Amino acid sequence: MNLEVLAVDDSRTMRDMIRLALEPAGFRVHTADDGVHGTEVLANIAPDVIITDINMPRMDGFGFIDAVRDQTGHRTTPILVLTTEAAPELKMRARAAGATGWIVKPFDPSKLVKALQMVAG
């Protein structure tokens, strides 16, 4: 399974952890450090699934999800929110914006791999 993933997170450590969790499972990982950078990277790739944080500078996760969903080619691309936030109203807001799922940090690498395979498969 050679899936392409775009991971958007302002934390370099978190981007590295996502890469370390996914690359051994056969994913090609592209990263961006905030929503603005994420939309720039997205212009040049066609990921099978997108992972985004919520709290980021310049453009937060909600803005990024909106920007992704505004693009015809990415209206159905699965988007998983990976965040420290667990508030039900934020989950509802993310789902309303077009997020596919929600994973709370810190994440279990094997569960992240399974979640991505489920939504992208």
Q: What is the pLDDT of residues 21-72, one digit of tens each?
A: 999 999 999 999 999 999 999 999 999 999 999 999 999 999 999 999 999 8
Beta carbons within 8 Å of 67's beta carbon, 6+ residues apart: 35, 38, 39, 59
pTM: 0.94
**CATH code where residue 33 lies:** 3.40.50.2300
Domain that includes residue 28, residue range: 4-120
Number of compact structural domains in the chain: 1
95 and 66 Cβ atoms separated by less than 8 Å = no
pLDDT at 85: 84
Band of pLDDT at residue 88, cut at 50, 70 and 90: very high
Band of pLDDT at residue 1, cut at 50, 70 and 90: low
